[in-house]
């Protein structure tokens, strides 16, 4: 990922910022410019709370090169408390401890590193809530 794109996506990746339609109140993540329900262009930013539950998941054992340091890791479909379903990597949990319906919360973690001297990309991942 190039540096301009990293900066462009920082609100989405660090604040879990999506969008809300002013006309019909539909929430979207990632943010959109046109509502998929009512086609309104009256869209405003919306910050999700970062709480949700696992809808489905898969454990990755053979990743792309930039993700080998995390193997094995879990990629999950997360139903956010506010409604949208997103894809995210799970962290701070063993693959065998993940279950459908498990409550999770967003945290900021390292996503990838471009090279020894390149940018380190951070973003959202989800983990079980700390008790």
pLDDT computed for residue 122 by the predictor: 83
Nearest to 123 by CA among 42, 48, 13, 6: 13
Structural domain count, the chain: 1
**pLDDT, position 4:** 61
Q: Which domain holds residue 35?
A: 3-127
For 84, the 3-state DSSP assignment is coil
pLDDT for res 50: 94
Query: pLDDT value at position 98?
Result: 97
Per-residue model confidence (pLDDT) at position 115: 65
What pLDDT is attached to residue 117? 65
Residue stretches of the chain with pLDDT short of 70: 1-14, 115-117
Contact 104, 56 (CB under 8 A): no
Residue pair 95/58 in contact by the 8 Å Cβ criterion: no
What per-residue confidence (pLDDT) applies to 112?
Answer: 77
């Amino acid at each position: 990922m190039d540096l301009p794109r990293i900066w462009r996506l920082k609100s989405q990746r660090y604040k879990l910022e999506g969008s809300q339609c002013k006309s019909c109140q539909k929430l979207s993540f990632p943010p959109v410019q046109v509502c998929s329900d009512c086609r309104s262009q009256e869209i405003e930013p919306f910050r999700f709370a970062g709480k949700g539950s696992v809808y489905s998941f898969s454990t990755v054992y053979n990743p792309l090169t930039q993700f080998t340091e995390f193997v094995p890791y879990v990629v999950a479909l997360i139903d956010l408390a506010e409604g949208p379903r997103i894809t995210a990597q799970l962290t701070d949990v063993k693959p065998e401890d993940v279950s459908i319906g498990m409550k999770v919360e967003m945290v900021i973690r390292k996503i990838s590193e471009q090279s020894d001297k390149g940018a380190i990309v951070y973003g959202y991942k989800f983990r079980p809530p700390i008790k």
